[in-house]
Structure 1
């Protein structure tokens, strides 16, 4: 698993992060409570609620090995990021291959769909695909992912995310954030979030996708190069169905409808696990 480098330990004695070239507001360091009292911090979280432009302001933190992400406390009471994070349960995203992970997930989701629906309805749900894994969608040339990420973060703050906090996580790429902090949002679907992060890495490479926000069981991503046609969107929708079947099962009647309404030209992907 990723070890947590020194930037956060600097904040123990320099809370504003001036020696790192940062100017942080009041915040707290969150440690892995499952790793004993001497564990190094997992992440830094601002004390106050993020303003619309906050995420973009802390993009320079990437230069010192800290990735910005918004953390939303859906209940408004319990701060799930301070007590429910367990990175020790995760493997390393680099140990997994995105297509193999998605193939496994696809076969499970397709099988569950067939079990819960009669044959005809199950076919309509996953059409134009069949139960055989269709393969990875081709990627597209991305514009600047950081610009898109800042735009998506700005749109989330105060809208679908009512009171998010800015956090900084010591990882080299945004795709690794969930595993690095031991996020357990999809626990009813996947215990080892590093497997999901292998897919996030692939989306980062193919579509300029960036992890922008995490909630208790929700993940928001910006997408610098989203699919632009229905055919492109269908191929991506198959991956989304494998990655998070609840996106289709609980929000749309079929993969086709999901592709049409949620993916074509959309720079914002959201996943939610029941």
Structure 2
């Protein structure tokens, strides 16, 4: 992945006021030639830790993200990071990426009860047979205006999670990653959470970039195989939600295939419509 100079090796002399923490250079294939991220050794001291780190780190090329060990207590050293497998997110087109996933997964996995004409792209195929239908294309930008700045929304979600991280995630710690866009954070560290779905996480980051632009989305939490995204401008109508649900399915089929009620329309209503946080997990 093409990157700007990594500020993490000089973190100690950067002037940032950081708590005790760990630089991670451990990957699936051994030690990487430079640190991939820094994360604190303990939970955030207060609810404003995220905002302070973003303000101080961004001029240096560092962005905050919460990392979680999850219920299995797996922290970034145990995430099987694969930075050499990540390309550059800007080299991929979100619509093309999602169309490929939709073609590969939806025909076999979208349940029959999900089929039927609709803006989410499901319905009878051209030959009259039941199926998910062709890829419907990217969902439109929501008609509603954002209630607040996208980074403010991300900080708010980070604060909510920090306030009760054990309940949400089994523990969370603040991390800094060398990235210019929140959407690029997974590629910057070579995150392998979606490995069973996609080997090059930069392709998923291209989708996250598109969600940044259309929905004011920000990556707020990463775990071994989980991601939580803040949403500053969520879909405000069921039609908008159904259109986006098709993207979510292509991006992370396990959210629907392995999570009750296993129905794309129900997912659109419960997990997308007016939701200011999206959660994803890959089996």
Partner Cα distance (1:28, 1:128) in 2: 45
Supply the distance in 1 between the matched residues of 2:152 and 2:192 (Cα, whole angstroms).
28
Aligned partner of 1:254 among 242, 254, 263: 263
The structural deviation recorded for 1:80 is 3.6
Task: Tell me the distance in 1 between the aligned counterparts of 2:60 and 2:26.
Answer: 21
Sort the Cα spacing of 1:83 and 1:268 in 2 relative to 1 into closer, same or farther, 3 A: closer
- 2:210 is the alignment partner of 1:202: yes
Quote the residue 1:269 is aligned against.
Answer: 278
Map 1:1-274 → 2, pairs under 5 A = 1-3=1-3, 5-11=5-11, 13-14=12-13, 17-18=14-15, 22-33=16-27, 39-50=33-44, 51-60=46-55, 61-81=57-77, 84-113=80-109, 120-121=112-113, 123=115, 129-130=122-123, 131-140=133-142, 141-142=145-146, 143-157=148-162, 158=165, 159-251=167-259, 252-274=261-283
Structure-2-length-normalised TM-score: 0.86
1:67-87 Cα distance to aligned partner (Å, 9 max, x none): 100110114544244562121
Cα distance in 1 for residues equivalent to 2:203 and 2:237: 28
Gaps of 5+ in 1: none
- State how far apart, in whole Å, the 2-side matches of 1:227 and 1:193 are: 25
> For the Cα contact (< 8 Å) 2:215–2:231, is it kept in 1?
yes
Deviation at 1:156, TM superposition (A): 2.1
Supply the distance in 2 between the matched residues of 1:25 and 1:102 (Cα, whole angstroms): 39
SS at match of 1:184: coil
Q: Distance in 2 between matches of 1:246 and 1:124?
A: 21
Q: Which consecutive unaligned segments of at least 5 residues does structure 2 have?
A: 124-132
Counterpart contact for 1:179–1:197, Cα < 8 Å: yes
**Local SS of the residue matching 1:265:** coil
Shift of 1:32: 4.7
Distance 1:38 1:172 in 2: 21
| TM-score, structure 1 as length reference | 0.88
- Mapped to 2, the partners of 1:37 and 1:215 lie a distance apart of 20
Q: In 2, are the aligned partners of 1:87 and 1:180 still within 8 Å (CA)? A: yes
* SS in structure 2 of the partner of residue 185 of structure 1: coil
The residue that corresponds to 2:128 in the other structure is: none
Which runs of structure 1 show a deviation greater than 3 angstroms over 4 or more consecutive aligned residues?
32-38, 75-78, 80-83, 124-128, 140-143
- CA apart distance, 1:113: 1.6
Assess if the C-alpha contact under 8 Å between 1:183 and 1:193 holds in 2.
Answer: yes
Q: 1:197/1:83 Cα in 2 relative to 1: closer, same or farther (>3 Å)?
A: closer
Partners of 1:228 and 1:273 in 2: how far apart? Answer: 26
